[in-house]
Amino acid sequence: RITKSVLLPLSDRVDVLPSDENFSWSKENYSKLQRTIDVWSFVLSLRAKLFLIDAKWSYVGGFSEEKKISRRRSIAVWVKETILQLGPTFIKLGQLFSTRSDLFPAEFVEELAKLQDRVPAFSPEKAELMIENELDTPMQVLFSEFERQPLAAASLGQVHRAVLRNGEQVVVKIQRPGLKELFDIDLSNLKFIAEYFQKDEMLGGPLRDWVGIYDECATVLYREIDYINEGRNADKFRRDFRNIKWVKVPKVYWDFTSRKVITLEYLPGIKINDLAALDAGSYKRSLIASRAIEAYLIQILKTGFFHADPHPGNLAVDVDGSLIYYDFGMMGEIKSFTKEKLLELFYAVYEEDASKVIQGLVDLGALVPTGDMGPVKKTIQFFLKNLTSQRPDQATTFTAIGEDLFAIAVDQPFRFPSTFTFVLRAFSTLEGIGYILDPKFSFAKIAAPYAQTRDATVAMPMRVQHIEKFMQQLEDGDIKLRVRVLEAERAARKSSVLQTTTMNLVAAATLVNVGVTLSTQGLQDFAIASFLGAGK
């Protein structure tokens, strides 16, 4: 068995918890019944602790807001530690929920975020046995060298450096033993838990789609433990950026890959937020920040296939200043319609247009229209005003958007789909990286070329849509023209003018629409005639 430990310099090693041996879920004889008891014990204990937060009689020495906050914080710490004890499924869920301030109090979100780097490793013996079983080949045949200490450990697996027999340096990602079986047990229990939460008013009840959240999480988790799927994601991502030289993606070695083991090209780089190393190498930090955002805009607005977890551990800088992406287990896809609506929403925020923001959220499925949208509009207006007054230079805009939208979701009919939250989380993370790299970082400047492209393509159709929408609102009575009684006669005269103008607007809008369509089909002469007709 290859057990060399000479590949990785001490300075390159990362701190991981030494072993998962002390955790009950890592035992091979862990029973389904015991696991079910452990999971439900956690849920029911959490339910009781949450109940006591608002039970004023339960506070020794009397109730106070300070004591309430302290209790909530201590419960959040308990949740984090219990999740770590419960293992991979719950660690991953905790990471997914670490940005969902629309679902959990701020103290819980803060503690869940700490799960990102506190994950225990499993033994090298287990890693090597998994590789041999999955690839059906002895270690000494596969590799000339294998680094026993993991390069990194995550909730679902860990990474080791190795050298193939042909001398190529690679990294081998190995799934935690027994993970699929553990997922099956846990997700079976979590489905019942989601249904229980759905009926519990204290846990959000009808205001939170817990069953829908469960379905999304289950899909994400099962996809992420399929390393064949991850390899395909990496290949697709590389193809999307094949013409952009400053983005690099590790090559997949398919002959050394299975559903539980994936072997990738070793592409070392400087962690994107390691300022000391970047400065020592004389890298231009502002360029790196700009590229990180531009690469993501390409993913969201052009290819529609995006990295859903771009934290600093998954982004590095190569010697030539290129960006290196790692870990393609969690990816998102955006349809053309959603791409357009996301762009409209982001710029509606910049324009401080509450109506456009609301419509964007409705179009994205993040807001459920109700009979009276007045309270929602007031909330959005307050959010936009607060955003502008606190950040006149629009710094940390997307971070603020995510936090504030999630915060107001508690009392409003918001339903944030997973794609929406993944995009906001990604932009928020990258924006934070941008400001760390460059204090003068401006998302708006980087995004401007994409906005100009959007304006050129959709400005005219949008104007036509606004005219048509205005006319429909007039017909439906959503817009009312009010006049004073003393001016009734003048209003009557104006109404005939308004009617004539309205008919002209409709005719003009129709001709413009026809002109745009003809123009896009290459019929320029007919298009010009339509535009001239609209002008008359």
Query: What is the per-residue DSSP string for 394-429?
Result: -TTHHHHHHHHHHHHTTTS-B---HHHHHHHHHHHH
Say whether pLDDT at 487 is over 70: no
Q: pTM here?
A: 0.71
Provide the 8-state DSSP code for 272.
T
Tell me whether residue 309 is one of the annotated catalytic residues. Answer: yes
Say whether pLDDT at 95 is over 70: yes
Q: Under a CB-based contact definition with an 8 Å cutoff, are residues 92 and 221 in contact?
A: yes
| Stretch among 287-301, 324-338, 348-362 having the lowest mean pLDDT | 348-362
Rounded distance between C-alpha atoms, residue 328 and residue 300, angstroms: 16
**Token digits of residue 466:** 């606004």
Rounded distance between C-alpha atoms, residue 536 and residue 532, angstroms: 7
Residue 172, phi-psi category: left (phi > 0), alpha (psi -120 to 50), beta (remainder): beta
Q: Output 158 or 368, whichever has higher pLDDT.
A: 158
* Residue burial 77-87, b: 16+ Cβ < 10 Å; e: rest: eebbebbbebb
At 191-239, the pLDDT tens digits run 999 988 888 776 666 667 788 888 888 988 899 999 999 999 999 999 9
Residues comprising the chain, all counted = 536
Rounded distance between C-alpha atoms, residue 129 and residue 19, angstroms: 16
Q: Under a CB-based contact definition with an 8 Å cutoff, are residues 216 and 418 in contact?
A: yes
Q: How far is CA 258 from CA 8, 13, 126, 314, 320, in A?
A: 25, 26, 16, 22, 32
At 285-319, the pLDDT tens digits run 999 999 998 998 899 878 989 998 888 888 999 99
For residue 52, report the phi and psi dihedrals to the nearest 5 degrees. Answer: -75, -15
- Which range scores top for mean pLDDT: 65-79, 437-451, 478-492? 65-79
- Closest to 222 in 3D by CA, of 256, 174, 257, 182: 182
Rounded distance between C-alpha atoms, residue 489 and residue 190, angstroms: 68
Residue 102 has a pLDDT of 66
Question: Stretch 53-76: mean pLDDT, rounded?
Answer: 93
**Token digits of residue 394:** 């629009």
Rounded distance between C-alpha atoms, residue 370 and residue 411, angstroms: 13
At 159-190, the pLDDT tens digits run 999 999 999 999 999 999 989 999 999 999 99
Of 20, 186, 309, 404, the catalytic one is: 309
Q: Under a CB-based contact definition with an 8 Å cutoff, are residues 154 and 147 in contact?
A: no
**Residue 306 bridge partners (DSSP):** 332
